[in-house]
Amino acid sequence: MRLPQSPSFRLDGRRALVTGASSGIGLAAAAALAEAGAEVWLVARRDEELMAARDAIRAAGGRAEAMALDITDLARTAAAVAASGPFDVLVNSAGLARHAPALETTSADYDAVMALNLRAAYFLTREVARGLAAAGKPGSLINISSQMGHVGGPDRAVYCASKHALEGMTKAMAIEWGSKGIRVNTLCPTFIRTPLGEQTLRDHARRSWILSKIKLGRVGEIEDIMGPVIFLASDASAMVTGSALMVDGGWTAE
């Protein structure tokens, strides 16, 4: 009897583009992809932190390059992707949250969140897919969404709107590009202990509410993101597209 063999989680020979890569979830994703063998291109706006992240990955034995880039600049982003691609993997982790009661939302905050979380994500994903299609290559495009792309939350109407839209965008792109072997999925974390997340977690009432919703009884750590990213990027998820991988400790199970 010939037993089936598990698909590889390795990413040797592949090139990955990771946005928001200077800290938090983006940095964890970049480190995970490099550890799995990918050549990782790190993108962020903060040049000093970006170079430090690149150097840390290299020091750990990984292959990494860095591009200081604001992905809301669509023309510059398209040119950078065209010049440096094609990329086999995209992890779009750049994101913004400006929380406020819906009755107090300003148009400036709405526009800023949508410009990064949705508009920039849309056109970046398109440009990476365009490079793959032109090269006749398959690929895995991962948009970092949120559990808030599937539920609502207090003071999060704008953020939820951006992430719900990201989910719909991802499904439509997966349908269009499936015949080209280009997979598109979202990864949906719960509250993760990052420098940004700590601002919410320091509030006792909000932390209590968060822990009451997470069935595993703890907030997420950035390491909780790393395995799911490798899974979605690798051949281990070869039949997964148009899907949302929940990393939410059971928040959305109810």
- Active-site positions read 159, 163
How far is it, in rounded angstroms, from Cα 121 to Cα 167? Answer: 11
Is the peptide bond preceding residue 86 cis, with omega within 30 degrees of 0? yes
How far from 41 is each of 37, 87, 99, 106, 226, CA to CA, in Å? 13, 9, 30, 35, 16
The arrangement of strands across the sheet holding 244-247 comes to: 63-68, 39-44, 15-19, 89-92, 139-144, 182-189, 244-247
Cβ distance 213 to 180 under 8 Å?
no
Can you tell me the distance from the alpha carbon of 121 to that of 28, in angstroms, rounded to the nearest whole number?
Answer: 19
d(CA 173, CA 176): 5
Residue bearing tokens 């982790």:
93
CA angle 91–95–96, rounded 5-degree value: 175
